[in-house]
Amino acid sequence: MQILPPEITVITAIHNGLSINKLFYEYVKKHTHYPLQLIIIDNLSTDGSREFFQQQGVTVIANPANYSYPVCQNIGIDAAKGDYLFFLNNDILVGPQWDKRLIDTAQKHSLDILSASRLENMGNAKRTKSLARRWKKIKYPLSIFGFNDTTLSLMVKLMYGNWEQFSETIFKDNADKVVEGIVGDNVMMTRKAIQSIGRWDERLQSADFDLFMRSKQRSIQVKDIKSCHIALGVYIHHFGRMTIKYGKHVPIPFADKDNLIGLSDKWTQEELESFHPNNATLRLK
């Protein structure tokens, strides 16, 4: 009997940033292994970003206002068809077979919620510090020229040389190793994870940390799911908030800003100390 490949859904919220959106789409389209449903949640983009994604034939959900991160994630869940849901920021770049490798790693370790690694946590302190210093030397000088197709691509070229080869090196070195934690700009969840710990908490802009804490809490109390882990063999590049800081478009306030609360408004100090990902027992080696 033929085994059908898993279907995946990528959910990404945007608010302007046409150049970074083009690069994001290029890498996702080029490097995704499995059949893909891409859902773009557009929050009133005015620079042609919405139209760009519509022209690519992907699913675009046009919000009537600029909503916070967790609201957009849940909108994506409602439209998702995949077995595996990937919540990706639009300012990241993925490597070859990123989705297959994350799924393979998740299956090996029986994980239902998982992130790829990035510059801040690569499983090796020396490599992490070296690349972090390199990125600072590259991004700040080039940032003065703004964020267009040329400068963004140049940053990646100067940082990694050959991106595909760099990604392969990370995979070769770390394979399917994992550490406990979460990388908020990319989170994979199975349907089981959503059923077990629920959707994103729309009251929290730091809903990624809350997601980790809920998975950690449930892994201890109910034991039907493991806490979120980071796959060290799958690396993503994250441009970070620099695309907002140096971008041409100033984000408009979230329409639901008055509903947002902090982690300490939801979790007690004892719970924060017990479940927060910064207090994870598995540390960077």
Q: Supply the pLDDT for residue 278.
A: 79
Q: Supply the pLDDT for residue 205.
A: 86
Q: Supply the pLDDT for residue 143.
A: 84
Could you give phi then psi for residue 230, rounded to 5 degrees?
-110, 125
Cβ proximity of 227 and 219 under 8 Å: yes
At 59-103, the pLDDT tens digits run: 999 999 999 999 999 999 999 999 999 999 999 999 999 999 999
Q: Supply the pLDDT for residue 122.
A: 79
Q: Supply the pLDDT for residue 1.
A: 59
Q: Would you call 92 exposed, middle or buried from its count of C-beta atoms within 10 A (0-12, 13-18, 19+)?
A: buried
Beta bridge partners of 118: 121
Q: Mean pLDDT over residues 19-43, rounded? A: 97
Q: Supply the pLDDT for residue 279.
A: 66
Q: What is the DSSP string of 97-108?
A: THHHHHHHHHHH
Beta bridge partners of 10: 38, 86
In the sheet that holds 178-180, the strands lie side by side as: 59-63, 36-43, 8-14, 84-88, 186-190, 113-117, 229-235, 178-180
The answer to whether the pTM exceeds 0.85 is yes
Q: Mean pLDDT over residues 18-34, rounded? A: 97
Q: Amino acid identity, residue 162?
A: N
Question: Which residue spans within 74-185 are E strands per DSSP?
Answer: 84-88, 92-93, 113-117, 178-180
What mean pLDDT is reported for the chain?
92
Domains of the chain: residue spans and CATH: 8-279 (3.90.550.10)
**From its phi and psi, is residue 281 left (phi > 0), alpha (psi between -120 and 50) or beta?**
alpha
